[in-house]
């Protein structure tokens, strides 16, 4: 009996980048409303923004519309942030703003975690 091969779904880079943008947009909206999950959840979601940067640094050039959307989301996100006492992840320069600032309206578990870790 011959094994059946599972079909492989190929996602074009532009479509994948758009998926990341959509995920980042939902995250920014959550921060605007007041992010309340744990610091673990928060830093995992920051990983989406980091991944978009790394993909671009490795040569991927998103379409103009995607670049504009990313800039707009970054602007919205930055408006919700205040400087952290220490970075969420050391080793990244300030151009990785998402690791050097935290939501000014952090709530519940995130607020408690930021205080306990000496980040806020």
**Residues 56-74: pLDDT tens digits?**
999 999 999 999 999 999 9
Cα 49 from Cα 31, distance rounded (Å):
14
> Three-state SS for 13?
helix
Which distant-in-sequence residues (6+ apart) come within 8 Å of 11 by Cβ?
19
User: What's the average model confidence in pLDDT over 20-30?
Assistant: 97
Query: Residue 3, exposed/middle/buried by CB under 10 A (0-12, 13-18, 19+)?
Result: exposed
Paired residues of 83 in beta bridges: 101
Q: What percent of the chain has pLDDT over 70?
A: 91
> What is the average per-residue pLDDT within 6-33?
87
Question: How far out from the chain centre does Cα 45 lie?
Answer: 5
Q: Specify the pTM.
A: 0.88
Q: What angle do CA 44, 47, 97 make, to 5 degrees?
A: 115
Work out the average pLDDT over 84-94.
96
Q: Residue 13: its pLDDT value, please? A: 85
Q: What pLDDT sits at residue 5? A: 64
Compute the average pLDDT of residues 88-97. Answer: 95
- Helix then strand count (H, E) for the chain reads 4, 2
Cα 89 to Cα 39, 41, 49, 55, 75: the distances in Å are 12, 14, 13, 19, 21
């Amino acid at each position: 009996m011959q094994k059946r091969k599972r079909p492989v779904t190929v996602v074009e880079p532009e479509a994948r980048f758009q998926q990341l943008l959509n995920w980042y947009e939902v995250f920014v909206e959550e921060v605007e409303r007041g992010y309340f999950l744990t610091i673990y959840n928060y830093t995992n979601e920051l990983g989406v923004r980091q991944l978009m940067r790394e993909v671009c640094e490795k040569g991927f050039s998103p379409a103009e519309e995607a670049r504009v959307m990313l800039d707009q989301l970054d602007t919205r996100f930055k408006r919700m942030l205040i400087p952290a006492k220490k970075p969420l992840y050391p080793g990244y320069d300030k151009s990785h703003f998402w690791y050097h600032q935290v939501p000014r309206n952090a709530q519940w578990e995130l607020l408690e975690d930021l205080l306990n870790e000496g980040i806020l």
